[in-house]
Amino acid sequence: MKTIKIAHLYPKLLNIYGDIGNIITLKKRCEWRNLNVEINEINIGDPIKEHDIYFIGGGQDKQQIEVSKELLKHKDFLLEQRDKLAVFLGICGGYQLFGNYYQPKNEEKILGIELIDAYTVAGEKRFIGNVTVKTDFVEPNSLVGFENHSGLTFLEGETIPLGTVAVGYGNNGKDFSEGARYKNVFGTYLHGSFLPKNPHFADYLIELALGTKPDDINSEIEFKTHYSLINKKY
């Protein structure tokens, strides 16, 4: 039986607002289905081997600078993985590093690894609060989470948003877009954590990694949480 290999990229630097919950959710939802799952933490200086899913969380600019330098060393390998349709999920600061660059205010540009065609610039205001997103590629067609960022992300080329913001600010507070996707790469500003509150999205990632739909499991409590958060304002 296939083992789903998950790389948790730089958890010592990028891991805030419960981002680790995303890894726990993926692990549990695999285990509950008796799927073999292996989680490998990748920290600064570690080599990155081939995985089915690559996850990276959020953090502050200072940590992003350090992680950016390290990720750039692995850029070619990760682009190759993207083109082989490996699954990537980046949250907030990690999402910004999946793009072309993040330009903070009065500081040097932080380079991303260009897994998606997107760029981020520092905004004047910090976007904090609950977010509800309407989407069209997972069922139920909603995503919920909590955002806390000042970077404004703009998508270009073939990179499209995860969905449209119904509550909250999303990518930039201007065009109602939230998150990004290209091939099997996904980025989002939704923390707090994202996958525990969106079990259908966790299962979608598992499906992409497996290449087949995973068995149904009872997710009553998780979906109760999901639905209770829809349209909840901060």
Task: Give catalytic residue positions.
Answer: 92, 191
Our finding on whether 12 is near ligand GLN (CB under 6 A) is no
Calpha distance 117→133 (Å, rounded)? 21
β-strand partners of 127: 149
Distance of CA 182 to CAs 34, 105, 218, Å?
A: 29, 27, 30
Q: What's the min distance (Å) between Cβ of 140 and ligand GLN? A: 26
Q: Which residues 92-111 are close enough to bind ligand GLN by CB under 6 A?
A: 92-93
Our finding on whether 128 is near ligand GLN (CB under 6 A) is no
* Bond from prior residue into 228 cis (ω within 30 degrees of 0): no
Q: What's the min distance (Å) between Cβ of 62 and ligand GLN? A: 9
Exposed (0-12), middle (13-18) or buried (19+): which is 28, by Cβ within 10 Å? Answer: middle
Q: At what angle do helices 199-210 and 20-31 cross, to 10 degrees?
A: 60
Our finding on whether 196 is near ligand GLN (CB under 6 A) is no
Radius of gyration from C-alpha coordinates of the chain: 16
What are the residues whose beta carbons fall under 8 Å from the beta carbon of 212, sequence distance 6 or more?
Answer: none
Our finding on whether 60 is near ligand GLN (CB under 6 A) is yes
Which of these segments, 66-74, 108-116, 149-157, 179-187, binds ligand GLN (CB under 6 A)?
149-157
Applying CB under 6 A, among 29, 149, 181, 226 the residue interacting with ligand GLN is 149
Return the number of the residue (37 or 143) whose C-beta is nearest ligand GLN.
Answer: 143
Our finding on whether 61 is near ligand GLN (CB under 6 A) is yes
* Residues 161/178, Cβ–Cβ less than 8 Å: yes
Return the number of the residue (192 or 214) whose C-beta is nearest ligand GLN.
Answer: 192
Applying CB under 6 A, among 18, 72, 148, 183 the residue interacting with ligand GLN is 148
Q: Which two tokens stand for residue 150?
A: 């000042």
Q: Which residues bind ligand GLN (CB under 6 A)?
A: 16, 58-61, 64, 92-93, 148-151
